């Protein structure tokens, strides 16, 4: 439902909303959840997945943690096709690895312009056509179907409102390189009911991420909405399950997945009495080639390094990989209709294929078994 500004008389002095042409009512979380509810069985599984991730991060579970999946979800068919295969793979390697599925519906942008797709939650049908009413519902529908398969779900949160629509589904979330200095998001992490991670800054620096982890650990407050859509101020006890994601920087020299970079980061974490578990992002800045260009196939090299460090004794490292049904990506622009795109290739960052991910995971599984 849209609400247009009322007519104003000629003698009005208008100082508010002078550039706003329309506001749209969005259903509160309680309505969306009522229409697409979880079940006790799903919630028990979600809680078990959260605990398993936390146990790995704190060294209570000897398995290797891998968060893998699409750069961005953009249609139900492709996401669920990937999730079903991902579930089979996860079950096969469950004694050595815990696989958690990336499923981000929201895109952080350095520049937000109409020709850039902002993610399913904002532009559910067409690039440049904002429809968060439909986007929130479609996102919940897809994530709920993934959860019904028994697949742990991980996404990035970019504001303090969206978590309420998915907080009975989520098993893991992260704060990105562009938003790790956002005070509201930092404080929000202290009250989320699942393990969280913070990426290092875009330049590769660690301090902003360490500050954000510190903020998440301690009691704090944050603004949010409740299930009824009311703005509320939340006081929370702090989240001890907060870790660092190392994602490289903007240059080849800022890649930070190697042994020395990881050891340095873990020393910095310990110096501040923070959890020294580190997830190494194989994509983003860590997948830059020597010319400073992203090469999604370099994710395989980064993951090999991550696993080698784990096998060499550093059990406080995990991995993150961007993967989808087919390798590479496809271009979008203003007016691109998502339903007209091939459903099986990323519309944002290029990824490795499901077949390549499967080979990577099965190879890691065998190496871990051999080590044992």
Helix (H) or strand (E) holding 366: helix 354-371
Count H helices and E strands in the chain, helices first.
10, 13
Task: Return all residues near 196 (Cβ < 8 A) that are at least 6 apart.
Answer: 172, 173, 174, 175, 189, 216, 239, 241, 242, 243
Mean pLDDT of 79-107: 97
Q: What is the mean pLDDT of the chain?
A: 95
Mean pLDDT of 107-131: 90
Mean pLDDT of 77-81: 98
In-domain check, residue 213: yes
What is the greatest pairwise CA distance in the chain? 81
Query: Is pLDDT of 111 > 80?
Result: no
The residue segments making up the domain with residue 49 are: 20-367
pLDDT confidence of residue 5 = 52
Question: How many domains does the chain contain in total?
Answer: 1
In-domain check, residue 9: no
In-domain check, residue 122: yes
Q: What are phi and psi of 328, to 5 degrees?
A: 90, -155
In-domain check, residue 15: no
HSE value, Cβ hemisphere, 13 Å, CA-based, for 62: 9
In-domain check, residue 1: no
pLDDT confidence of residue 8 = 57
Mean pLDDT of 178-185: 92
Mean pLDDT of 336-365: 98
Q: Whole-angstrom Cα distance, residue 131 to residue 119?
A: 11
pLDDT confidence of residue 107 = 86
Sort residue 69 into left (φ over 0), alpha (ψ -120 to 50) or beta. left
> Any idea which of 12-21, 183-192, 282-291 has the lowest mean pLDDT?
12-21
Query: Taking a C-beta distance cutoff of 8 angstroms, is the pair 105, 73 a contact?
Result: yes
User: Could you please report the per-residue DSSP string of 21-56?
Assistant: --EE----HHHHHHHS---HHHHHHHHHHHHHHHHH
Mean pLDDT of 32-47: 98
Question: What's the predicted TM-score (pTM) here?
Answer: 0.94
CA 166 to chain centre: 13
pLDDT confidence of residue 17 = 86
Instruction: Return the CATH number at 80.
Output: 3.20.20.70
Question: pLDDT for 254-279, tens place per residue?
Answer: 999 999 999 999 999 999 999 999 99
In-domain check, residue 49: yes
Mean pLDDT of 219-233: 96
**Of the candidates 322, 370, 325, the residue with the CA atom closest to the CA atom of residue 349:** 322
Query: Taking a C-beta distance cutoff of 8 angstroms, is the pair 305, 257 a contact?
Result: yes
pLDDT confidence of residue 215 = 96
In-domain check, residue 4: no
In-domain check, residue 202: yes
Query: Is pLDDT of 341 > 60?
Result: yes
Question: pLDDT for 141-162, tens place per residue?
Answer: 999 999 999 999 999 999 999 9
């Amino acid at each position: 439902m849209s609400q247009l500004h009322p007519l104003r008389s000629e003698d009005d002095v208008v100082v508010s909303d002078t550039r706003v042409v329309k506001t749209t009512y969005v259903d509160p979380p309680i309505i969306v959840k009522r229409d697409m509810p979880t079940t006790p069985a799903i919630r028990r599984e979600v809680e078990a997945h959260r605990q398993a991730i936390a146990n790995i991060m704190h060294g209570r579970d000897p398995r290797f943690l891998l968060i893998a999946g699409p750069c961005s979800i953009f249609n139900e068919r492709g996401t669920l096709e990937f999730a079903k295969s991902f579930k089979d793979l996860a079950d096969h390697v469950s004694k050595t690895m815990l696989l958690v599925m990336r499923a981000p519906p929201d895109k952080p942008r350095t520049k937000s312009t109409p020709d850039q797709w902002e993610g399913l939650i904002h532009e559910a049908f067409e690039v440049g056509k904002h429809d968060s009413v439909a986007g929130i519902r479609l996102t919940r529908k897809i994530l709920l179907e993934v959860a019904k398969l028994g697949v742990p779900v991980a996404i990035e949160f970019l504001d303090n409102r969206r978590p309420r629509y998915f907080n009975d589904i989520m098993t893991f979330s992260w704060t990105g390189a562009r938003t790790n200095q956002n005070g509201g998001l930092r404080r929000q992490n202290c009250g989320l009911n699942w393990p969280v991670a913070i990426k290092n800054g875009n330049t590769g620096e660690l301090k902003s991420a360490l500050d954000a982890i510190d903020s998440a650990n301690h009691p704090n407050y944050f603004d949010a909405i409740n299930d009824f859509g009311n703005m509320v101020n939340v006081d929370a006890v702090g989240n001890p399950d907060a870790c660092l994601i190392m994602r490289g920087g903007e240059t080849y020299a800022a890649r930070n997945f190697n042994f020395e970079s990881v050891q340095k980061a873990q020393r910095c974490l310990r110096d501040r009495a923070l959890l020294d578990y580190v997830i190494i992002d194989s994509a983003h800045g860590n997948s830059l080639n020597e010319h400073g260009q992203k090469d999604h196939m370099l994710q395989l090299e980064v993951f090999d390094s991550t696993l080698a460090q784990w096998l060499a004794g550093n059990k406080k490292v995990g991995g993150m990989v961007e993967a989808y049904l087919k390798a590479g990506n496809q271009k979008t622009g203003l007016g691109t209709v998502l339903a007209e795109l091939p459903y099986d290739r990323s519309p944002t960052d290029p990824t490795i294929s499901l077949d390549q991910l499967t080979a990577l995971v099965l190879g890691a599984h065998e190496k871990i078994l051999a080590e044992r």
